[in-house]
Amino acid sequence: MSLILMIFYWLVMPISLVVSACWLFRHTSGPFGKSFVIVAAIGLLSWFFWEAAGKKMYWDAKVRELCAKDGGIRVYETVELPAESFDQWGNVGVSEKRYAEQTDEFYYETITSVLKSDEPQVIKTTTKMIRRKDGKVLGELIRFGRGGGDLPGPWYPSTYSCPPIKQNQPGLEKSVFRKGDNR
């Protein structure tokens, strides 16, 4: 975002609003005129707050609502694999469909849907773990996220996503695949 636009949003607009409201309040006679100036100033400050933070708070709440209703991991079938199929961290190393070899038994597919394209953007990401031989979906992970909606500035846009990724919680791969006995 350009420096001029950033200065406009962060300095010119709020200062102009306060100075104009003070000047109009002093030069307006009668209670109706003064009340109108106060209401107009509060309305414009509310709009500025909405642009600065309200949109993000609203869409973050919508994303949380979508997550509560449809987000998370769903396992349709667990697959038991021999211990040698897992690496030292307990991962199988399943590749995305476009990078998977034809000999790979499993692959995953990620589909991103844009639910809201203007600022802030809201997306739904669905990752499906698929068995190649029959095309069966073994499990899926659904996540929602919001990006942007901030006032212009020299920073990266803020983001919010859910369900949260936790270190001690198994992901999709560890939820679908289990180590079998080494007999």
99 burial type by CB count under 10 A (0-12 exposed, 13-18 middle, 19+ buried): exposed
Sequence letter at residue 78 = T
Return the exposure string of 44-77: e unless at least 16 CB atoms fall within 10 Å of the residue's CB, then b: beeebeebeeebbeebbeebbebbeeebebeeee
Residue-wise pLDDT tens digits, 87-134: 888 888 899 999 999 999 999 999 999 999 998 999 999 999 999 999
pLDDT of residue 167: 66
Q: pTM here?
A: 0.74
- Return d(Cα 67, Cα 7) in angstroms, integer: 36
Strand, coil or helix: what is 110?
Answer: strand
Pick from 133, 128, 143, 144: nearest CA to 176? 128
Neighbouring-strand partners of residue 112 = 125
Mean pLDDT of 46-59: 82
pLDDT of residue 140: 96
Mapping DSSP onto H, E and C, the string for 117-161 reads: CCCCEEEEEEEEEEECCCCCEEEEEEEEEEECCCCCCCCCCCEEE
Q: Is residue 183 over pLDDT 80?
A: no
- Return d(Cα 106, Cα 103) in angstroms, integer: 9
Q: Is residue 175 over pLDDT 50?
A: yes
Percentage of the chain beyond pLDDT 90 is 45
Mean pLDDT of 49-74: 90
Model confidence at 182, pLDDT cuts 50, 70, 90, reads low
- Return d(Cα 137, Cα 130) in angstroms, integer: 5
Domain ranges of the chain: 3-179
